[in-house]
Structure 1
């Protein structure tokens, strides 16, 4: 799914212009990102839950050279689908 796809769905559903739909899609994505930064997660009922998880620093291996590489600690986003979504798919 892309921002263009979300824009097209908004435009088709509301009958607004492409510029207004693009702005709405951008604002929606920004609001979701801000909510995840603020609360560490975001839930869409009947769809699923997005959560921010911390990963620890670790050692990995470069697949081309086989050299060990240090990977820094960071954050990643996880998604857990709702039971309704699992049934639908």
Structure 2
């Protein structure tokens, strides 16, 4: 799924112009990111939940050289599908 796909669905369902639906799709994604930064989670009922998780620092390997490298701690976003979505797919 892409921003263009979301904009197209918005445009078809609301009869908005392409520019307006593209802006609406961008605003929707920005609102989701803002909520993830603020609360660490975002839930779409009957679809699923996005959760921010912290990752620990670890050792990794450079795939080109095979050299051991240190990977810094960070954050990642995980998605857990709702039971309704699982049944639909």
TM-score, normalised via structure 2 length: 0.97
Q: Once superposed, what is the RMSD of the aligned Cα atoms?
A: 0.6
Name the count of aligned residue pairs: 89
Note the C-alpha offset of 1:36. Answer: 0.3
1:40 aligns with 2:69: no
Distance 1:87 1:18 in 2: 33
**SS of alignment partner, residue 37 of structure 2:** helix
Task: Find the counterpart in structure 1 of residue 9 from structure 2.
Answer: 9
Task: Find the counterpart in structure 2 of residue 83 from structure 1.
Answer: 83
Unaligned runs of 5+ in 1: none
**SS of alignment partner, residue 64 of structure 2:** coil
Task: Find the counterpart in structure 1 of residue 71 from structure 2.
Answer: 71
Unaligned runs of 5+ in 2: none
TM-score, normalised via structure 1 length: 0.97
